[in-house]
Structure 1
Amino acid sequence: MGTTETGTGGRGWTLAIVSTATFMLLLDLTVVNVALPDLRTTFEADFTELQWVLDAYALTLAVFLLTSGSFADKLGRKRVFNVGFVVFTLASLACGLAQDIVVLNLARGVQGIGAAVLFAVGPALLSNEFQGKDRGKAFGVFGAVGGLAIAFGPMIGGGLTEYLSWRWIFLLNVPIGVLAILIGVLRIRESKGSTEHPVDWAGLVVFSGALGLLVTGFLRGHAEGWTSAPILGMFGGAAVLLLVFYVIERRLGEAAMLDLSLFRIPTFNGVSTSALVWNSAVLGSIFLEISYLQNALGLTAWETGLRFLPMTLTIFVAGALTGPLTTMVSPKLLATACGTLMATGIALMTLIDENSGWTALLPSMVVQGIGMGIYTPMRAAYSVGVAEPEKAGMASGIGETFQQVGIAVGIAAFGALFQSRVTHALEETALGAQLGSRTDEFGEAVASGAGPEAVAALPGEATGQAADAVRAAFVGGLEDTMVVCSVVVAFGTLIALLFVRAKDLHESARGDRAPAGPHDERTAGPEPVASAR
């Protein structure tokens, strides 16, 4: 079977612990945003320092995903998973107790390393414990919990920040983490690949360096300037290191940390690429929708979270229902439906105008929520499902890497696009003519949520008229950006339609799947490597 198992274990406990970890990790991607104003006050931090509160976590999370999955296959998935949980929990404690912004950012980086381990190894543990239809149900729960974390993030963060302290955003992880670690040690079963090859240290260092440069370039591109020497240098260095990594892995063959033969499987390429594209647009759109509720409608973080409940509940239900379908329905059909719903839901954001209330978002929330609910269990199941069980950790790690790089790209790119469209809209108003060369600076303030402060700083007689112009520019920029997000998601859907197919799944991932249509079992491309071995 390619795996070894020890201990008493239990599938239910494994699912519970992996789901708990996923909830905590995804929560930390969204929950911190609402606490940034309080962090600015506590530490008297500038914009760059606050940006690194988000970037440090996202950077190390993306960089160490593949490494974590590869280590888990070689050293034992339970062992590596529990170590990751310890790192994440201790780093959360350090974040909550930080007395300096630099310490907080360093702790966030370490927290991202622990998160990378849990993200990469969790799906591999599930794929080892569950087979066939049971695997589909497990990934359904996994996906539903992940969707809840993303949707509940603003509300939980807002509640903790408003009624306790921003520190509890991090400190809450500690008791949950300690309990999860104890249960994981006692109840999760050990599994690992059968290979005895040594750790690929050269590949580990080179790939980590490449991802570090690539993700940092995307995260800092807007602030530094996309054509600036530092950013171009990062992208160039990442390209060189990725080429070196390819050479190293090809020479090592079976001993490599990344099995390059995975990229000969059309479904793996389709799922990974569409995940990158989808995450870039979907997560970018979610952050902008949160910004709209808080900055255009003036809602608090808690109020914003409450109004996201329609999407939250939709994601949860759709995720729970989708899990079993991953072993029953054509992967092509499921992926295409997922992408189509997300693209349509984002496009429905254009129904709003400067006079709309929050209920104008309901059609978008429900349709997009169904697509997002389908996405998480589908992506996790198919990313791991194309690989042999002994390489589940590695397959999960590289799949999660594509996803996290997509998030980094999307937040940076669509945030910059939104700011550009807001500024352009302001330039065409009387306010823009009055501001002149200061329009860019004013537009950046409006896009970042500081519109009321920027308006208040204007001469008294211009304030009322300026407030209307700012709101119209914000909504207009949001609509323009959402159209682009929708088109990008549609492009990802086309990729899934062309490349995802049932015949590439490993036998351990197959269940009572409905017969595929003639377009699903296309013969173009090589036979699935994982099945042929």
Structure 2
Amino acid sequence: MRKWLPLVAICLGAFILLVDVTIVNVALPSMASDLDASFTSLQWVMDIYALALAALLMVAGSLADLFGHRRIYAAGLVVFALASLAAALSPNTAALITARAVQGVGGAAMFATSAALVSATYHGRDRGTAFGVWGAVNGAAAAAGPILGGLLTQGFGWQAIFLVNLPIAVVAVALTLKVLPAGRRGAGRLDLPGAAAFTLAAASLTYALIRGGEHGWTESLTLTAFAVAALAVVGFVAAEARSAHPMLDLALLRRASFSGLLGGALLYQAAAFSGLVYLSLWLQNVLGLSPIRGGLALMPLAGASFLAAAVAGRHMHRLAPRLPIAGGLVLIAAGCAVLWLSVHASSGQSALFAGLAIVGVGAGLATPVLVSAAVEAVPPQRAGMAGAAVNTFRQLGMTLGIAVFGAVFTSRLRDTTSGGGSLRAGYASGLDRISLYAAVAALAGAVVVLATLRPAAAAPAAAAPAAVDGASAGAEGKPQVSAAEEAATGLK
């Protein structure tokens, strides 16, 4: 059993950082009441954390490749714990939003390194099992957030959703320093221009989407933010092309398969999880459920996701990655379609159960494979870059999904109520449209994955770990992927 202690250390960190993406969902009404928060402030409490994760994941991955994955992971745990304490003690929304941003900084360091630590610690069949467990934790954590949030908020107040991170982080740090391999430090330096440009692009785009939904899409500041985001993207590409040590090797993006994984990751996260915040508001503000009952109403997604990820992780080495990823996205689309057909003005919480369970199965199938396919496609010294890139696009999907769905939700709510409809009808109308758009996004993700990831060639099951372990970087430090690796991961 001792050989699984490193996995416990990794999964503890992954759990708390991903739970905190959604754990605040059911606490939002309590936060709004205690802190006198506006709807826009509540969006930022949600979005700033996911935004910090998305903007800094690749930076953290680069730092981990330079200074060692264990060192950066442990530092991330410490920052995350301190920020969680600050969030619990926040006297107003400005302080809470700031603390959530710092939480995202720590979370980025943990998220960027966890997959690489799994890959470096386990080999052969153990690696498949470890990625299966890690994927199950990933898939279930975001979905379980509302349930834990409801229990803690109703039992102890919304501050408890942050305080619970402290003892878990302490245990994770102790285990990390004791059982995880120290690893070797890499060569090179941090790509500061690329990091700055990417962070500016992500922040500007998210701000533009949130502001556009509230103030209009042709409003001057909204248009300015969109323009800044576009210029920052151009600057990021230029910086990466010129850098001797890029944060993201642009050569990877020229592989249709790798770009397809990034696009699939973005659409997957947006479709599966971005609508949960609005479902939580409907459950409490319209149906009048308590935080605990509101969280339990989302339990089908959490349970189905965990079980499906555990099963998929044990058998994923037998399948080309395109099959569980695309299949999972199709199931997510089907689940969102069921929600679209089920939720009406007269609906109760039971209308969610079937759709959420189907979404959960889809998320559980796709989650373990998305990251492992990317990590095993590059040499170990570039594992931080690959894992961080896929997880960055996942968090961008969450961030942009919350912003876009928020604009859709508020627009439908405003139109319905201004036309004489009830608040209940307005909420149902907003959720109806969000579910439809999420289904379309998931289907689009499935098409992208099927079109870009080629079927894996026949290869021995043990080829992938051996090829990855023996891979080496090229003369210029760029990833060199062997034919065996490509066959094992379906990336060509």
Q: Which of 195, 199, 202 is the matching residue for 1:204?
A: 195
Structure 2 CA distance for aligned equivalents of residues 240 and 158 of structure 1: 41
Structure 2: gaps of 5 or more residues: 466-478, 486-492
Structural mapping, 1:254-403, within 5 Å: 255-349=245-339, 350-403=341-394
| Residues 19, 142 of structure 1: 8 Å contact kept | yes
Q: Which of 124, 128, 137 is the matching residue for 2:116?
A: 124
Q: Which amino acid in the other structure matches residue 494 of structure 1?
A: V
- Are the structure 2 counterparts of residues 507 and 295 from structure 1 closer, same or farther at C-alpha, using a change threshold of 3 Å? farther
- Are the structure 2 counterparts of residues 136 and 220 from structure 1 closer, same or farther at C-alpha, using a change threshold of 3 Å? farther
Q: Which amino acid in the other structure matches residue 360 of structure 1?
A: A
Does 197-206 or 321-330 show the bigger shift?
A: 197-206
Deviation at 1:479, TM superposition (A): 2.3
Deviation at 1:80, TM superposition (A): 0.7
Q: Which amino acid in the other structure matches residue 85 of structure 1?
A: L
Q: Which amino acid in the other structure matches residue 448 of structure 2?
A: I
1:77 maps to what in 2?
A: 69
In angstroms, what is the RMSD of aligned CA positions? 2.7
TM-score by length of 1: 0.82
Deviation at 1:18, TM superposition (A): 1.6
1:94 maps to what in 2?
A: 86
Deviation at 1:129, TM superposition (A): 1.6
Deviation at 1:506, TM superposition (A): 12
| Residues 271, 379 of structure 1: 8 Å contact kept | yes
Q: Which amino acid in the other structure matches residue 291 of structure 1?
A: L
- Are the structure 2 counterparts of residues 509 and 40 from structure 1 closer, same or farther at C-alpha, using a change threshold of 3 Å? farther
Structure 1 CA distance for aligned equivalents of residues 342 and 449 of structure 2: 28
- Are the structure 2 counterparts of residues 84 and 257 from structure 1 closer, same or farther at C-alpha, using a change threshold of 3 Å? same
1:165 maps to what in 2?
A: 157
2:399 maps to what in 1?
A: 408
1:524 maps to what in 2?
A: none
| Residues 206, 244 of structure 1: 8 Å contact kept | yes
Q: Which of 233, 238, 260 is the matching residue for 1:247?
A: 238
| Residues 79, 103 of structure 2: 8 Å contact kept | yes
Instruction: Describe the superposition over 1:426-445 as per-residue Cα deviations: whole angstroms up to 9, x where unpaired.
Output: 466xx25xxxxxxxxxxxxx
2:131 maps to what in 1?
A: 139
Structure 1 CA distance for aligned equivalents of residues 190 and 344 of structure 2: 56
Structure 1 CA distance for aligned equivalents of residues 235 and 462 of structure 2: 33
1:150 maps to what in 2?
A: 142
Structural mapping, 1:228-247, within 5 Å: 228-247=219-238
| Residues 274, 401 of structure 2: 8 Å contact kept | yes
| Residues 274, 496 of structure 1: 8 Å contact kept | yes
Q: Percent identity?
A: 37
Structural mapping, 1:48-59, within 5 Å: 48-59=40-51
1:531 maps to what in 2?
A: 482
The number of residues matched between the two structures is 470
Larger radius of gyration: 1
Q: Which amino acid in the other structure matches residue 200 of structure 1?
A: D
2:24 maps to what in 1?
A: 32
Q: Which amino acid in the other structure matches residue 499 of structure 1?
A: T
Q: Which amino acid in the other structure matches residue 485 of structure 1?
A: A
Deviation at 1:11, TM superposition (A): 4.8
Structure 1 CA distance for aligned equivalents of residues 41 and 358 of structure 2: 36
- Are the structure 2 counterparts of residues 223 and 507 from structure 1 closer, same or farther at C-alpha, using a change threshold of 3 Å? farther
| Residues 386, 506 of structure 1: 8 Å contact kept | no
Matched, 1:471 2:461: no
1:490 maps to what in 2?
A: 443
Q: Which of 490, 495, 499 is the matching residue for 2:452?
A: 499
Structure 1 CA distance for aligned equivalents of residues 39 and 427 of structure 2: 21
Q: Which amino acid in the other structure matches residue 44 of structure 2?
A: W
Structure 2 CA distance for aligned equivalents of residues 26 and 354 of structure 1: 32
Q: Alignment partner of 1:327: what SS? A: helix
Structural mapping, 1:453-472, within 5 Å: 469-472=422-425
Structure 1: gaps of 5 or more residues: 1-8, 433-468, 513-527
TM-score by length of 2: 0.88
- Are the structure 2 counterparts of residues 475 and 214 from structure 1 closer, same or farther at C-alpha, using a change threshold of 3 Å? closer
Q: Alignment partner of 1:256: what SS? A: coil
| Residues 28, 42 of structure 2: 8 Å contact kept | yes
Q: Which amino acid in the other structure matches residue 329 of structure 1?
A: L
| Residues 62, 215 of structure 1: 8 Å contact kept | no
Structure 2 CA distance for aligned equivalents of residues 505 and 383 of structure 1: 19
Instruction: Describe the superposition over 1:271-294 as per-residue Cα deviations: whole angstroms up to 9, x where unpaired.
Output: 110111122222233333333333
- Are the structure 2 counterparts of residues 508 and 73 from structure 1 closer, same or farther at C-alpha, using a change threshold of 3 Å? farther
Structure 1 CA distance for aligned equivalents of residues 427 and 33 of structure 2: 26
Matched, 1:182 2:174: yes
2:469 maps to what in 1?
A: none
Structure 2 CA distance for aligned equivalents of residues 105 and 288 of structure 1: 19
| Residues 92, 107 of structure 1: 8 Å contact kept | yes
- Are the structure 2 counterparts of residues 265 and 191 from structure 1 closer, same or farther at C-alpha, using a change threshold of 3 Å? farther
Deviation at 1:398, TM superposition (A): 1.3
Structure 1 CA distance for aligned equivalents of residues 359 and 38 of structure 2: 35
- Are the structure 2 counterparts of residues 220 and 423 from structure 1 closer, same or farther at C-alpha, using a change threshold of 3 Å? closer
Structure 2 CA distance for aligned equivalents of residues 511 and 196 of structure 1: 25
- Are the structure 2 counterparts of residues 226 and 497 from structure 1 closer, same or farther at C-alpha, using a change threshold of 3 Å? same
Structure 1 CA distance for aligned equivalents of residues 441 and 457 of structure 2: 26
Structure 2 CA distance for aligned equivalents of residues 65 and 124 of structure 1: 13
Structure 2 CA distance for aligned equivalents of residues 135 and 123 of structure 1: 11
